[in-house]
């Protein structure tokens, strides 16, 4: 795996490494591409919209690793609105979106939560849906997978969730397995992400790759085994 599309630098407020430290770790692990997707401004402790509007100033290469500018957006209401406007999103290389605690969204139950996420996926700049199997906001996973295909949004296989849920939260792990099997049955590839919150977590895919069979997946089901295919999907120049 040569690319990590979901990571957080110290700017997210609850992460612990600089972009340079993240890039150095990526280089040591043999990654070619690293996306920095700090949390959007609705999350507690993060910078304002100017941080993301100025993303073109981020270095494009550090330690031989290509750096993609990005964001993990917060879905903030029942209408699927997110916490950055389109005129900023269009400047970014990678736009991830998901539901998060303490980020403006109030749990509305499975039906309304699902509708909100589907509406967010209709945003043409949203390319990846983050952890729809998290326990805080229940979703209809069948409808989420169907909508992800309809709107060409990738669903991540979040290695951080694999690591924590496998040992501590059976519900999350079962939801994760269900989501991956639904995607496999639909012939849809997934993106493998670290959701790193420190440089040591960048590209931590080994445990997840060893357990792919538990999710009904094979390596060929992982989109980011092919850097060119990922960049094509994102619409980013090679």
- State the residue range of the domain holding 141: 3-234
CB 177 within 8 A of CB 215: yes
* Interior angle at CA 89, CA 83 and CA 90, nearest 5: 160
- For 99-150, write each residue's pLDDT tens digit: 999 999 999 999 999 999 999 999 999 999 999 999 889 999 999 999 999 9
Per-residue pLDDT tens over the stretch 20-38: 999 999 999 999 999 999 9
DSSP 82: B
Cα–Cα distance between 84 and 97 in angstroms, integer? Answer: 11
For residue 213, give Cα distances in angstroms to 90, 155, 166, 174, 206: 36, 18, 14, 14, 13
How are the residues of the chain apportioned to helix, strand and coil, as percentages rounded to the nearest 5?
40, 20, 40
* CATH code for position 186: 3.20.20.140
pLDDT of residue 170 exceeding 90: no
pLDDT at 167: 67
Per the structure, the count of domains in the chain is 1
pLDDT tens digits for 61-94?
Answer: 999 999 999 999 999 999 999 999 999 999 999 9
pTM here is 0.97
5 in Cβ contact with 128 (< 8 Å): yes
């Amino acid at each position: 795996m040569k690319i990590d599309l979901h990571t957080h630098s110290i700017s997210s407020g609850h992460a612990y490494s600089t972009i340079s430290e993240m890039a150095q770790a990526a280089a040591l692990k043999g990654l070619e591409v690293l996306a920095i997707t700090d949390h959007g401004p609705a999350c507690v402790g993060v910078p304002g919209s100017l941080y993301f509007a100025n993303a073109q100033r981020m270095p494009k290469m550090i330690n031989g690793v290509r750096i993609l500018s990005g964001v993990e957006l917060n879905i903030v209401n029942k209408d699927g609105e997110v916490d950055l406007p389109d005129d900023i999103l269009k400047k970014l290389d990678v736009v991830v979106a998901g539901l998060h605690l303490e980020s403006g969204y109030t749990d509305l139950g499975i039906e309304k939560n699902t509708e909100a996420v589907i509406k967010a996926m209709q945003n043409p700049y949203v390319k990846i849906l983050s952890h729809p199997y998290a326990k805080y906001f229940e979703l209809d996973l069948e409808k989420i997978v169907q909508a992800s295909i309809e709107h060409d949004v990738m669903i991540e296989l979040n290695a951080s969730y694999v690591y924590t849920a496998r040992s501590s939260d059976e519900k999350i792990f079962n939801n994760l397995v269900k989501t991956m099997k639904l995607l496999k049955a639909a012939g849809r590839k997934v993106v493998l992400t670290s959701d790193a919150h420190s440089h040591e977590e960048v590209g931590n895919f080994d445990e997840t790759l060893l357990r792919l069979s538990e999710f009904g997946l094979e390596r060929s089901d992982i989109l980011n085994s092919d850097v060119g295919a990922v960049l094509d999907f994102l619409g980013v120049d090679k």
